[in-house]
């Protein structure tokens, strides 16, 4: 990120050096807040309304009262991208509980704070889209619905970070995360899909998977391409013995998996269903979306 980066912060676009929050902000002190990651391609923001709607749903779930309308937040995203002169990249939209002194009581924070960052991004090197990722299973489990809904994209990301640390220590770029029952929930930052006998399968939301925006796009593309797709409980055995596997996420887009826990998936090469979906996704992302203006 360059020193000339422009950040939208609480109603103003400021230089990166001036984009500061209070040390008493509860987003910093307690991870009390929500966020969204959004992609834009060829001057269009991909699935902007869906991302902003999910941001508001996450805020509602944690009793975080928004000061802005969904339409205003959409405009803020576009304004931030324009201020940075970008046509392709990634937006990080963050809403914190705001400053309120020490103590957990969220009602002592008089108003939330919001900032928006637009920058270039490349989560995985392009070569991995051609040769595929190798995954490991993380010992860190996903929290259950009884603890905190995985549908809330909160600033409490320590669970995923600890799992990501396991991946790094094992020399892998991503890892499977299991739920309390030991079945597959998702990966540290992506949603997992497998392909078996021509059917695309992904974990159910109730098994701990985030109802991701890119995940939803894959369902749409499968319907368009007449590929059967279902949600089901998935075990590690199902992953190991799949014909294909791939991950999806806003930053990752659609990327193949060729090995998990030292077991080759299929023939150890990106599969044909994945290739078809990647092509369709990139066409969709490049040709649709809300114009930056």
Segment holding 176, helix H or strand E: strand 174-178
Edge-to-edge strands, sheet with 290-291: 12-15, 6-9, 113-119, 89-96, 33-41, 44-45, 290-291
CB of 266 within 8 A of CB of 281?
Answer: no
Using CA atoms, how far apart are residues 85 and 68, in angstroms rounded to an integer? 24
Question: Within its chain, how far is the Cα of 4 from the centroid?
Answer: 26
Residues linked to residue 99 through DSSP beta bridges, in sequence order: 25
For the chain, how many residues are written? 293
Tokens in use for 97? 């509980």
Using CA atoms, how far apart are residues 66 and 113, in angstroms rounded to an integer? 9
Catalytic residue list:
153
DSSP 107: G
């Amino acid at each position: 990120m360059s020193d000339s980066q422009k950040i939208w912060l609480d109603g103003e676009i400021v230089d990166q050096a001036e984009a500061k929050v209070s040390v008493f902000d509860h987003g910093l002190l307690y991870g009390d807040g929500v966020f969204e990651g959004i992609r834009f391609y060829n001057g269009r923001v991909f699935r902007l309304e869906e991302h902003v709607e999910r941001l508001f749903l996450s805020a509602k779930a944690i009793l975080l009262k928004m000061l802005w309308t969904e339409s205003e937040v959409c405009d803020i995203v576009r304004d931030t991208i324009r201020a940075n002169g970008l046509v392709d990249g990634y937006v990080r939209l963050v809403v914190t509980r705001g400053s309120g002194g020490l103590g957990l009581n969220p009602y002592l924070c008089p108003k939330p704070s919001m900032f928006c960052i637009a920058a270039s991004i490349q989560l995985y090197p392009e070569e991995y889209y051609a040769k595929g990722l190798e995954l490991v299973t993380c010992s860190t489990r996903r929290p259950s619905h009884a603890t905190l809904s995985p549908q809330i994209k909160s600033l409490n990301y320590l669970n995923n970070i600890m799992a990501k640390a396991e991946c790094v220590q094992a020399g892998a770029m991503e890892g499977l995360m299991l739920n309390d029952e030991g079945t597959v929930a998702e990966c540290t930052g992506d949603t997992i899909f497998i392909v078996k006998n021509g059917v695309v399968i992904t974990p159910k939301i109730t098994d701990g998977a985030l109802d991701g925006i890119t995940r939803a796009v894959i369902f749409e593309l499968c319907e368009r391409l007449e590929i059967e797709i279902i949600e089901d409980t998935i075990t590690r055995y199902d992953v190991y013995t799949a014909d294909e596997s791939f991950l999806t996420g806003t930053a990752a887009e659609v990327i193949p998996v060729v090995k998990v826990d030292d077991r080759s998936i299929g023939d150890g090469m990106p599969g044909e269903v994945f290739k078809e979906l990647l092509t369709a996704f990139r066409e969709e992302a490049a040709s649709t979306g809300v114009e930056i203006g």
